[in-house]
Amino acid sequence: MADIEHDESGFTCECGLRNEYPGYVQSHWSVKLSYSCACHRQYILYRGTVVKTSRESQEIFDSEAFGD
């Protein structure tokens, strides 16, 4: 899997769409947050890392930041 291009303010999805982090992400840096790109790919944001995940993930993450 290719590395996901990211920085402190957001990341670029595999589809090429840039996703900016809402302010909530910085204040919850040590919490695993679930994020869905507009293309429906899903990611986990955690302590500055961005990892693509499957939709079938059984683990529950805090996604309040993204209005889900």
From the centroid of its chain, how far is CA 2? 16
C-alpha distance across the termini of the chain, in Å: 27
Closest CA to 44 of 18, 9, 15, 11: 11
Domain residue spans in the chain? Answer: 6-66
Per-residue pLDDT of the chain (68 residues; tens, 9 = 90+): 457 888 888 999 999 999 998 888 888 888 999 999 999 999 999 988 899 987 554 554 555 555 44
pTM of the model: 0.69
Q: Is 32 exposed, middle or buried (0-12, 13-18, 19+ CB in 10 A)?
A: middle
Q: What span, in angstroms and rounded, lies between the C-alpha atoms of 19 and 1?
A: 19
In what helix (H) or strand (E) does residue 11 lie, and over which residues does it extend?
strand 10-12
